[in-house]
Amino acid sequence: MSGIDRILFGDNQFFGVNHMSEEKARAQQMRFRDTDSIIRVLDDAYDRGIRSFMCTTHDEIGKVADHVAAHPKRYEGFRFLPGMPYAHKYANMLTELGVVGTLKAVTPGGLVDTVARGAKSTFSRDLGELTRMLVDVEMARFAQVETPVVFMQNVVTDLLLGLGAHQFFAEFADHVHRRFGVEAGFFTMNLPALVDALEQVGIPNPIVCCNYNKIGFRMSGGIGAYDRVLEERPVRCIAMSVFASGAIAPAEAIEWVCARPGIQSIAFGASSDANIAATIELIQRFDGARAAAG
């Protein structure tokens, strides 16, 4: 898979995201209230061999990117895999500031071309142009770090999928390639439908990150449909939510996902060095067992 390791580290735990437990989510959010607390965990992950960080474009992640850029020797080979546009942020800003206020807030001073294109998209209601503007703004925070793949967030991906607006997938992929020299990836809660759509607009062998777990948690269409896609179609698949937000025991979850040869990468989040080490050990153990079995 171009630019992507077997094991990826995610950021949900830093921002109070837990789809099974609001109590756990609140506890995590309280724990990671500042950039330093996030960096300490990323340092643990880096020291355990993790080199790829799958993240949102939350303001705190921008500060993390600044920190990594300021210490290149400490983070040699470290890569960010951001997902954008960060829909939750803009939804909140639209509610508080309105359309004009949001455009002013997200557009840094001096980016005249971005402002002009943003204004045009507001009046013409050109969703593709607005998306490109937001991607340009959010990518500015990652200008000094390595970002081999930029993902479309699942809120946007699945909205476009539901609307049948598949051409925007091709426009997004073309834009990030031409403007930033990177590949496009897509988060989704519906792997089978998305792969169909991407093939229709000329994106073969796409990079897709989706939930993939033993109980079918948040897997639209079910495990069988996902397995068939990996068996029959060229897809560079990244499995996330492999523990189903804690519903599956770690060893059971990792053994199951490692047994699926079509899954090329596994993304996980953890908030302690012990959990990071344990998850890496499980992936390596079950990968090794599968390889030994031929």
| pLDDT tens-place string over residues 185-204 | 999 999 999 999 999 999 99
- Does domain 7-83+139-293 fall into CATH 3.20.20.100? yes
pTM for the model stands at: 0.85
79 vs 148, 150, 172, 193, 201, CA distance in Å?
7, 11, 21, 29, 28
- Contact (CB, 8 A) for 231 and 239: no
pLDDT tens digits, residue range 175-190? 999 999 999 999 999 9
Reported as a single tens digit per residue, the pLDDT across 102-131 is 556 655 544 445 545 555 444 334 677 778
Q: How far apart are CA 192 and CA 45, in angstroms?
A: 32
| Cα–chain center distance at 93 | 21
3-state helix, strand, coil in the chain (%, to 5): 55, 15, 30
Span 40-60, mean pLDDT?
96
CA 179, chain centre distance (Å): 19
Distance (Å, rounded) from C-alpha 187 to C-alpha 169?
A: 12
